[in-house]
Structure 1
Amino acid sequence: MSLMGNADPLIVRASGGPRERGRQYGSAARERVLLSLENYERVYETFAGLPWEGATALAETFVPAVARVQPDALEEMEGIALGAGVAFEDVLALNLRTEILFSGKARKIAAAGGGAAPGSAARAPGSSAGVPGECTSFCDLRGPEPVVGQNWDWIPFSHRTVVVLEAAPERGPRWVSVVEAGLLAKFGMNAAGVTVLTNALVTSLDRGAPGMPYHLLLRSLLESESVDAAVDTLRTVTRSSSANYLIVGGGRGVDVEARPGGADDLSLRRVERGGYLIHANHFLGGDGEFASTGADHGPRVMPDTLFRSERATALAELMPRPSVAGWHEVLSDHANYPDSLCCHPNPREGELEQGSTVASAVIEPERGLMHLVLGHPCAEPRVTYDYRDFFGVRG
């Protein structure tokens, strides 16, 4: 792997079986895992109303559902706990942050009798939205080769917990993911040519019912041999959380908007050559596609989602030719600052309500290249990771 630039991220390469990979990961990222635990204890209490003991107890109710579908994930989390010197249930609670956090927020909205916020106005500076906005992702197939990527926005403490995790499992393709320390996966790509991008979504159906958790599903998708296999994984499991999965490979993309449940709770959009798609933290189809089964709370929980989607689309339309530099500029945009595509902490908001772009990636999947910024893409260096040797492919 070649690393160009001045950034100095924590890169963890783990190999072998699930427990051994977890142990290597937990040991290498121990200080960041501890920092994740320290901060999520505050986050769960603030947004979900759960003390840490309540969060771990809720997380443990998911173990049977995970054991039926992805037992290796439990073994790997045990390894992470061993390597980091923490309890298994602590690592489990980190990996269920979406189920704990957003289900708690959805329950609070339901208790208040609230619905989704109307309209498409951006968040006004100084307003309190509660949970910060999460991600803006894109898939651009208008050029000769795909250019895809995303910004990951989250609470500023995550600048100190991010890890570039590179895995060489005993079975299946090698993969890389940009992830919070202690979690199994977030966005990334693998040696089979599959790239996985993602956005958190929130609906009135997100109540934290046990099923396959969001971040464990992201790991399953990164282990897929093809786009179709990844989509089949989403169809064949019972999912606990709403989320968007933008899966790219073989010159095409599939965007899967998912609500808690099974195959009937998915909406698919295909991205073909000559087209592009942008996704933030709300359903593109709106409530109309599933009005009888739930409401989209994304625009209420993360009000800047609507603006980010509209702004990125407008900038994409102005791009004469898809390129890494062009999409880097889109992800660096400051319209509606600080709640912009390149998100900066708003000093008018509380510490845990602030959002910040923690990582920004533009990926060329057919070249095996990830152009990554850890921090704000407007200011920090863009570093190019060449994974062709690690993946065992050239071209």
Structure 2
Amino acid sequence: MTIMLHLQTSGTPRELGKAHGRRLKAKICQLLDHYRHGLRDGTGGWRKGLDPESRRAFSLKRSEMIEHIYPEACEEIDGIATGSGLPYEDIWELNLIYELTDHHPACSVYGFQDCNGHSLLGKSDDLEALELGSNVLTCSEPKGVLKSLNMHFSGTIWTTCAVNEAGLAYGMTGLRAQHQNPKGIPTLFLLHLLVSRCETAVEVEHLCSEYQISTNGVSLLIGDATGDLMVLEKYTTGQATRRPGPRGAALWQTNHCCDANLREDEDRNSPTHQNSLDREANIVNLDGLVPRTLKGLMDLYRTHDAPGGLCQHGAGGLHTDTAIIMDPTEREMWVTEGYPCETEFVKRSISVR
């Protein structure tokens, strides 16, 4: 069973980062070693353009650009470096790893309104075997913005799912893209921004439209305390949203593009593309059988139907590190610490100021 890391932070962005770095130094070092192994060329050398000096120059150039768009991100990353005692450029390298290397998108989201009109959102978080245990369940109280329960990845400001005190919740899946935009911010940085500033699904849609992303796309399942529910897909070329039909109808997405107007930006060459198609086909088959309840959603994330089970144990090289269910109306998050088929969902709540 995976032992999930837990963290409580408060204060300025730099203070949030310092607490993160102090607590998670060992895991950060482990991840840096893991990713750098993948930058080798197989003969003991570095792949072209990925030697230490090139990575350092790239990281510093990107940090200077992002400073003008999202300065709080830079402050928090600097705090992680300070707290961990690791070089600033190493922490930036970790935060930018999906711009330095190929990204194999993963994770599945599924949600609906229950009989009370509450939006319930589910998300799996699928990782490589050597990444298991890197998720950090964080209770964050940033100074001057919204408090939240969120899932971070060790050493980074990536926020892959969250519930905040205003009753906004979201969970993400990755989408692989063909195009890059050097003027954009990393996709997972944008998600970090949303949870601290937005109170409704509509606000998320509007804020996302104000920012360009740099490389791979994202799909967001978003719900709020009013019962609103949507999926937002975003690539470097644009974004689109969709909402469910009659009450009880579900929304879902795995790791391929669903909006016809965005498909020209999709890269279908990911090794996990077939895995994504299999999971979507499985969801389509199971959708009518899923009770529109908290338990129904939990049980869906425990399925192993092959191919395409949402609880993955190595299919396509992916392992489900955790599954998360969110109820934005109640400001609750239910989380497994490890494969959802093997562990219980534990409730976490966030108080309203």
- Displacement after TM superposition at 1:274 (Å): 3.4
Report if aligned partners of 1:282, 1:305 keep a CA contact under 8 Å in 2.
yes
Matching residue's letter, 1:328: M
Q: How does 1:327-342 map to 2 (within 5 A)?
A: 327-336=297-306, 340-342=309-311
TM-score by length of 2: 0.89
Show structure 1 runs of 5+ residues with no match: 1-5, 106-130, 347-352
C-alpha deviations, 1:20-58, integer Å up to 9, x for none? 111011111221122221212224447995345544433
Is structure 2 residue 319 aligned with structure 1 residue 356?
Answer: yes
In structure 2, relative to structure 1, the CA distance for the partners of 1:314 and 1:83 (3 Å cut) is same
Report if aligned partners of 2:2, 2:133 keep a CA contact under 8 Å in 1.
no
In structure 2, relative to structure 1, the CA distance for the partners of 1:200 and 1:170 (3 Å cut) is same
- Displacement after TM superposition at 1:271 (Å): 3.5
Report if aligned partners of 1:24, 1:80 keep a CA contact under 8 Å in 2.
yes
Counterpart of 1:309 in structure 2 is 280
Report if aligned partners of 1:201, 1:298 keep a CA contact under 8 Å in 2.
no
Deviates more, 1:51-60 or 1:24-33: 51-60
Counterpart of 1:85 in structure 2 is 85
SS of residue matched to 1:160: coil
Matching residue's letter, 1:373: T
Counterpart of 1:214 in structure 2 is 187
- Displacement after TM superposition at 1:282 (Å): 0.4
Report if aligned partners of 1:166, 1:175 keep a CA contact under 8 Å in 2.
yes
Counterpart of 1:345 in structure 2 is 314
Counterpart of 1:284 in structure 2 is 258
CA distance in 1, matches of 2:111, 2:269: 21
Structure 1 residue runs of 4+, over 6 Å off? none
Report if aligned partners of 1:183, 1:215 keep a CA contact under 8 Å in 2.
no
Is structure 2 residue 103 aligned with structure 1 residue 134?
Answer: no
Report if aligned partners of 2:178, 2:265 keep a CA contact under 8 Å in 1.
yes
C-alpha deviations, 1:315-351, integer Å up to 9, x for none? 12112x31222112111111126x63111125xxxxx
Deviates more, 1:358-367 or 1:72-81: 358-367
Number of equivalent positions: 342
CA distance in 1, matches of 2:26, 2:223: 33
In structure 2, relative to structure 1, the CA distance for the partners of 1:208 and 1:376 (3 Å cut) is farther
Report percent identity of matched pairs: 21
In structure 2, relative to structure 1, the CA distance for the partners of 1:152 and 1:55 (3 Å cut) is farther
- Displacement after TM superposition at 1:244 (Å): 1.2
Is structure 2 residue 180 aligned with structure 1 residue 202?
Answer: no
Is structure 2 residue 296 aligned with structure 1 residue 323?
Answer: no
- Choose from 4, 29, 34 the match for 1:39: 34
CA distance in 2, matches of 1:203, 1:323: 34
CA distance in 1, matches of 2:52, 2:250: 42
* C-alpha RMSD of the superposition: 2.5
TM-score by length of 1: 0.80
Show structure 2 runs of 5+ residues with no match: none
